[in-house]
Chain A
Amino acid sequence: MTATPDLSTPPEIGGIGHSVLRREDDRLIEGQGDFLDDVVLPGMLHMAIHRSPVAHARIRGIDSSAASAVDGVVAVVTGELMAAHNLAWMPTLSGDTQAVLATDKVRYQGQEVAAVIATDPYVAADAAALIEVDYEMLPAVTGPQQSLSADAPVIRDEKEGQTDNLVYTWESGDAEATDAAFESAARVVSLDTFYPRSHPAPLETCGIVADVNSVTGQATVYLTSQAPHAHRTLFALVAGLPEQNIRIISPDIGGGFGNKVPIYPGYVVATAASLLLGTPVKWIESRSDNLISTGFGRDYHMRGELALDGDGRILALRADVLSDQGAFYSDAQPTQFRAGLFHVVTGSYDFPAAHVTCRGAFTNKAPGGVAYRCSFRITEASYLIERLVQTAAYEIGMDPADFRLLNFIREDQFPYTTPTGFVYDSGDYHTALRKAMDEVGYAELRAEQAAARAEGRLLGIGIAHFTEAVGAGPSRTYDIAGLKMFDSAELRVHPTGKAILKLGVKTQGQGHETTFAQIVASELGIPVTDIKVVHGDTDNTPYGLGTYASRSTPTAGGATSMVSRKLADKGRKIAAHLLEAAEADIDLAAGTFSVRGTPERSVTIQEVAFAAYTNMPEGLEHGFEGVSYYDPPNLTFPYGSYIVVVEVDAETGVWKVDRMVALDDCGVRINPMIVEGQIHGGLTEGFAKSSMQWITFDEDGNCIGSNFMDYLVPTAWETPRFELLETCVPSPHHPIGAKGVGESATVGSPAAYVNAVIDALAHLGVRNIDMPVLPDRVWDALESAS
């Protein structure tokens, strides 16, 4: 464990802990953001994609003559043309292949079949609609249970040796020990629940402007990318372009939430088209394109079982998952974990044995499986365990809060190794839950609930206490498509003491241009206003795996600290030279290097920076800059206690959130204002999924949820008010003790909302309603119970 140095700074420096107003806001509030669709290049053409209207069919022929004849159409691209360039298929992030433009079959509604390149986006869209495809219909398979049955059609019949629709099987934990624990259990409690398919739906859809210069071979690709460096490498590998000639620029991004991690077929087609036509090509998804074809999240059918002893202590957990992968296995997740980090499903509880099994199945639905505001399937895991412990508490007649307090990992057990192999870094779960209970007035609420029931009113109190595993690496364990998961920061301090910080990660609204400058401000004492943060341009930033899985602060935040400390070390040498003192006697605090014991002998960081270019001691290189690649020794484990109070209308099944108390512990908070903003957004996402937001399909594989009239996301009117609390148990291994927070509330809150509705109905014997907990489902549950 490294001791965290004193990183406190006065407000004018604005380091860690200050709610510094965001640097990026100045351009965004004046409409001067630079989003992808704002990129306009000379001679730029526009692309539109023709998509399959059906879920499963063999392609007998494609007639693009009418489209080609439209005035303004420059080219029509089909799978045949892509195949001629060996680009009809591309690798996915999970080692499968995905059709770029369909050649043999279409495998889901919305699949890319052809593309039109035209001088105007309206013309491109007109012409794309004129493409005629002759389909031989095949039966559509829309659920994994159906897909794994013996008589299901093989969706991926192009894959050699694939004779069924099974994608993978995966397990974690100790089956034997778990079986033994279940045999000895006084009580076994189970829950079957479904976490439905959902879509991140950032308000800015995905897009690309590909600009390949046929003379120089330079490919400049503007891309809505959460991971520009990884995308550059994958572009090089897929397209065979030399990596030094590929520059990916990810401009301002209008929300990502995991949706902008994969590489989509449209990117490949637009880049190929630019290469073949020698002119820039822009492709911007429509909202329907986005919702029906790009990376979805969840779609997990889960069963959980807990073995309990006679006192209500958990002895073991079994979890079994059936994952609907869609037509191509393209989860964005670490290579060696087929079900992401789902095995963190043991949650916040201390018990010795667990066994987790997962199967993935191909279906005639869009591929994806992205970590939608989530660190690789942790949301599903957190949902299952928090729903399951609530169920167990009801079954044994214990209060759900008491059940959790009885079974929590204790503060003195950290670092804690879970039965599936995670080593939780730090935490104090008992304090967190008790603080949230005090705030909400838990005991009084239980009394109020009893009184309400006596009057025939349905009041529910739902708890979720989640533990996340975020911040991948360490690189020895975590890679995506073979690319190791570390991250980077490069810091240059100029002669006048002003600095530029370049990151391998890429913000999509998280405020990196402010918070990463705050880390430097704390480490070196350079005022945050003197630090420019650059990111999202592969030619001008060091290599990194990007921003998702709450990893920016744990990884690039670590790198920013470490590169600052490199400069602090060099600064000490320069200061010693300037002050004619021994280097070992030089202290740095809030931007001042001083001689220990005689603090009046001091120089500022700005004076040291100037000397680095003008007055260097013998034997030291000039300049004041460095780069760090930070490979974290472990994940970080943020956690929180959420308590939701709802009232359910027994007549209609409508439920309303009366209170939402959310306590988060994400370790040290770099910018409390930004952290709270992230939590607000996550709590809203959790409410969305628990109450209204899902994508489903009819029996023919038609996507229900292809626009914002069918795919409901909450407005300001429905969204509840939130009451935020915090505790702070720093991560012992992170340079500044921070854990990452961007996804905590999305991960933790769905179970709290659903548990609250179930709690309102629990006395009637109701144990589960699948999300979204729509009023008709609540009404059905009430009807069945009575």
Chain B
Amino acid sequence: MEISVTINGTAQSHDVEARQLLVDYVRSTVGLTGTHIGCDTTSCGVCTVLLDGVPVKACTVLAAQADGHEVTTVEGLKADGQLHAIQKAFKENHGLQCGFCTPAMMLVGAALLESNDDPSEDEIRWAISGNLCRCTGYINIVKSIQAAAAEGRAQ
């Protein structure tokens, strides 16, 4: 079936299998491999993308469901050659180790900050509780999101 999806601001049209998962569409058909696959059961969250600004786990969304919608992946965070505040914050606060969960964590963090520019630690932990990390113990991920929030408020 034919679908049209705006990915990171660019209109895309593809003929896809009805059963193709959004994560496979993004990775294999469109070729954006910053979105990862970790569990197939909507548990780990490394496949998270933003669908019209809302975090979704792309392993449990069909590509067809994204037809007519906007998808943002990690590759779309940087704008005008400038890193997004959340990207800078993850680097500056050692918010990543192996980096496999990082694109998803940053997207969830960025989405949270869109609706709440001063989240409490509990609000951040709750927001990322659908995303697993096996390296960091979440401490520095929380710190990174707090730092990005502070940066956003300062601007």
Residues of A within 8 A of B (CB): 21-22, 24-26, 28-33, 35, 37-38, 121-122, 201-205, 252-255, 257, 284, 286-288, 508-511, 673-674, 676-678, 680-685, 707-709, 713, 715-717, 719, 721-722
Q: Which residues of A contact B73 (CB under 8 A)?
A: 31
Q: Which residues of A contact B17 (CB under 8 A)?
A: 122
Q: Which residues of B contact A25 (CB under 8 A)?
A: 90-91, 96, 99
User: Chain B nearest CB: distance from A30 CB in Å?
Assistant: 6
- Which residue of B20, B35, B125, B141 is within 8 Å of A717 (Cβ)? B125
Known contacts A33-B99, A287-B40, A717-B126; 5 further A-B pairs (Cβ under 8 A) = A31-B32, A31-B33, A203-B98, A509-B135, A681-B97
Contact A677 B44 (CB under 8 A): no
Given contacts A29-B83, A708-B41, A716-B125, contact A254 B36 (CB under 8 A): yes
Given contacts A122-B19, A203-B133, contact A716 B101 (CB under 8 A): no
User: Is B38 close to A, CB under 8 A?
Assistant: yes
Interface residues of B in 113-151 (CB under 8 A from A): 124-126, 128-142
Q: Count chain B CB atoms within 10 A of each CB in A510, A677, A678, A716 and give the residue with the most.
A: A716
Residue interface bits B60-99, CB-to-A below 8 A is 1, else 0? 0000000000000111011000010001001110101111
Alpha-carbon distance between A613 and B77 when the two chains are bound, in angstroms: 44
Alpha-carbon distance between A253 and B135 when the two chains are bound, in angstroms: 12
User: Is B37 close to A, CB under 8 A?
Assistant: yes
A-B contact count (CB 8 A): 169
Q: Which residues of B contact A30 (CB under 8 A)?
A: 34, 74-75, 77-78, 83, 87
- Which residue of B92, B106, B129, B131 is within 8 Å of A21 (Cβ)? B92
Nearest to A24 among chain B residues (CB) is B99
Which 5 pairs, one residue from A and one from B, show the smallest C-beta to C-beta distance? A31-B34, A509-B98, A254-B100, A28-B99, A708-B43
Q: Which residues of A contact B106 (CB under 8 A)?
A: 29
Contact B136 A681 (CB under 8 A): yes
Mostly, the A contact residues are loop
User: Is B103 close to A, CB under 8 A?
Assistant: yes
Q: Which residues of A contact B36 (CB under 8 A)?
A: 35, 37, 203-204, 254
Nearest to B107 among chain A residues (CB) is A31
User: Chain B nearest CB: distance from A518 CB in Å?
Assistant: 14
Q: Which residues of B contact A26 (CB under 8 A)?
A: 91
Contact B94 A673 (CB under 8 A): yes
- Which residue of A35, A286, A677 is within 8 Å of B40 (Cβ)? A286
Contact B132 A203 (CB under 8 A): yes
Mostly, the B contact residues are loop
Interface residues of B in 1-50 (CB under 8 A from A): 17, 19-20, 24, 27, 32-41, 43-44, 46
User: Chain A nearest CB: distance from B51 CB in Å?
Assistant: 17
- Which residue of A253, A708, A716 is within 8 Å of B128 (Cβ)? A716
Given contacts A31-B103, A681-B137, contact A253 B91 (CB under 8 A): no
User: Chain A nearest CB: distance from B9 CB in Å?
Assistant: 15
Q: Count chain B CB atoms within 10 A of each CB in A30, A32, A122, A201 and give the residue with the most.
A: A30
Q: Which residues of B contact A121 (CB under 8 A)?
A: 24
Contact B134 A203 (CB under 8 A): yes
Residues of B within 8 A of A (CB): 17, 19-20, 24, 27, 32-41, 43-44, 46, 73-75, 77-78, 83, 87, 90-92, 94, 96-103, 106, 124-126, 128-142
Given contacts A203-B132, A287-B40, A708-B44, contact A254 B90 (CB under 8 A): no
Given contacts A35-B33, A286-B40, A708-B41, contact A716 B138 (CB under 8 A): yes
Q: Which residues of A contact B94 (CB under 8 A)?
A: 21-22, 673-674, 676-677
Contact A708 B132 (CB under 8 A): yes
Contact B137 A719 (CB under 8 A): yes
Alpha-carbon distance between A713 and B129 when the two chains are bound, in angstroms: 11
5 A-B pairs with C-beta separation under 8 A: A28-B102, A203-B46, A684-B136, A716-B126, A722-B139
Contact A204 B141 (CB under 8 A): no
- Which residue of A31, A252, A721 is within 8 Å of B74 (Cβ)? A31
Alpha-carbon distance between A678 and B97 when the two chains are bound, in angstroms: 9
User: Chain A nearest CB: distance from B13 CB in Å?
Assistant: 21
Contact B74 A22 (CB under 8 A): no
Q: Which residues of B contact A681 (CB under 8 A)?
A: 97, 134-137
Contact B35 A31 (CB under 8 A): yes
Given contacts A511-B97, A684-B137, contact A29 B38 (CB under 8 A): no
Contact A253 B43 (CB under 8 A): no
Q: Which residues of A contact B92 (CB under 8 A)?
A: 21
Q: Which residues of A contact B24 (CB under 8 A)?
A: 121
Contact B134 A255 (CB under 8 A): yes
Q: Count chain B CB atoms within 10 A of each CB in A201, A205, A717 and give the residue with the most.
A: A717
Q: Which residues of A contact B128 (CB under 8 A)?
A: 715-716
Given contacts A511-B97, A709-B43, contact A29 B134 (CB under 8 A): no
Contact B100 A35 (CB under 8 A): yes
Q: Which residues of A contact B87 (CB under 8 A)?
A: 29-30
User: Chain B nearest CB: distance from A749 CB in Å?
Assistant: 11
- Which residue of A29, A122, A674, A682 is within 8 Å of B91 (Cβ)? A29
Alpha-carbon distance between A715 and B126 when the two chains are bound, in angstroms: 9
Alpha-carbon distance between A719 and B139 when the two chains are bound, in angstroms: 9
Nearest to B73 among chain A residues (CB) is A31
Q: Which residues of A contact B99 (CB under 8 A)?
A: 24-25, 28-29, 33, 252, 254, 509
Q: Which residues of B contact A715 (CB under 8 A)?
A: 128-132, 138
Given contacts A203-B100, A254-B98, contact A37 B37 (CB under 8 A): yes
Alpha-carbon distance between A287 and B38 when the two chains are bound, in angstroms: 7
Nearest to B86 among chain A residues (CB) is A29
Contact B102 A29 (CB under 8 A): yes
Contact A680 B83 (CB under 8 A): no
- Which residue of B38, B75, B137, B141 is within 8 Å of A203 (Cβ)? B38
Q: Which residues of B contact A35 (CB under 8 A)?
A: 33, 36, 100
Contact A21 B91 (CB under 8 A): yes
User: Chain A nearest CB: distance from B81 CB in Å?
Assistant: 11
User: Chain B nearest CB: distance from A313 CB in Å?
Assistant: 37
Contact A680 B139 (CB under 8 A): yes
Contact B137 A722 (CB under 8 A): yes
Q: Which residues of B contact A255 (CB under 8 A)?
A: 97-98, 100, 134-135
Q: Which residues of B contact A201 (CB under 8 A)?
A: 134
User: Chain A nearest CB: distance from B103 CB in Å?
Assistant: 5
Contact A707 B39 (CB under 8 A): yes
Nearest to A679 among chain B residues (CB) is B137
Q: Which residues of B contact A709 (CB under 8 A)?
A: 41, 43
Given contacts A30-B87, A203-B100, A204-B38, contact A719 B74 (CB under 8 A): no
Q: Which residues of A contact B130 (CB under 8 A)?
A: 715
Q: Which residues of B contact A717 (CB under 8 A)?
A: 125-126, 129
User: Chain B nearest CB: distance from A683 CB in Å?
Assistant: 6
Contact B90 A716 (CB under 8 A): no
Q: Which residues of A contact B32 (CB under 8 A)?
A: 31
Q: Which residues of A contact B90 (CB under 8 A)?
A: 25, 29
Given contacts A29-B83, A31-B34, A708-B43, contact A721 B139 (CB under 8 A): yes
